[in-house]
Structure 1
Amino acid sequence: METNAIKFQRKVAAWEVIALRPFHRTYFSPPPLGIIRLRRIMSEPNQQKQLTAVVHGYVQGVSFRYHTHRAANRLGMTGWVANQRDGTVKVVAEGDEAALRQMVAFLHEGSPAAHVQRVEEKWADATGEFSRFSVKYLG
Structure 2
Amino acid sequence: MSGGERVRLTAWVRGHVQGVGFRWWTRARALELGLVGWARNMEDGRVEVVAEGPRESCVKLLERLRGCDTPGRVDGVVERWSEAKGSVTGFVER
Aligned to 1:131: 89
Structure 1: gaps of 5 or more residues: 1-42
Q: Give the number of the structure whose residues are more often strand, by fraction.
A: 2
SS in 1 for 2:18: coil
Q: Does 1:69 align with 2:18?
A: no
- Are 1:78 and 1:130, in contact at CA under 8 Å, matched by a contact in 2? yes
1:88 to 41, 46, 54: 46
Q: Does 1:116 align with 2:74?
A: yes
Higher relative contact order (CA 8 A, sep 6+): 2
Of all paired residues, the percent bearing the same amino acid is: 37
How much has 1:110 moved relative to structure 2? 6.3
Runs of 4+ more than 6 Å apart? none
The total of aligned residue pairs comes to 92
How much has 1:131 moved relative to structure 2? 1.2
SS in 1 for 2:66: helix
Q: CA RMSD in A?
A: 1.6
Change (3 A) 1:82 1:110: farther
> Taking structure 1 as the reference length, what is the TM-score of the superposition?
0.63
Structure 2: gaps of 5 or more residues: none
1:27-66 matches, cutoff 5 A: 47-66=5-24
> Taking structure 2 as the reference length, what is the TM-score of the superposition?
0.91
How much has 1:114 moved relative to structure 2? 1.4
Change (3 A) 1:65 1:80: same
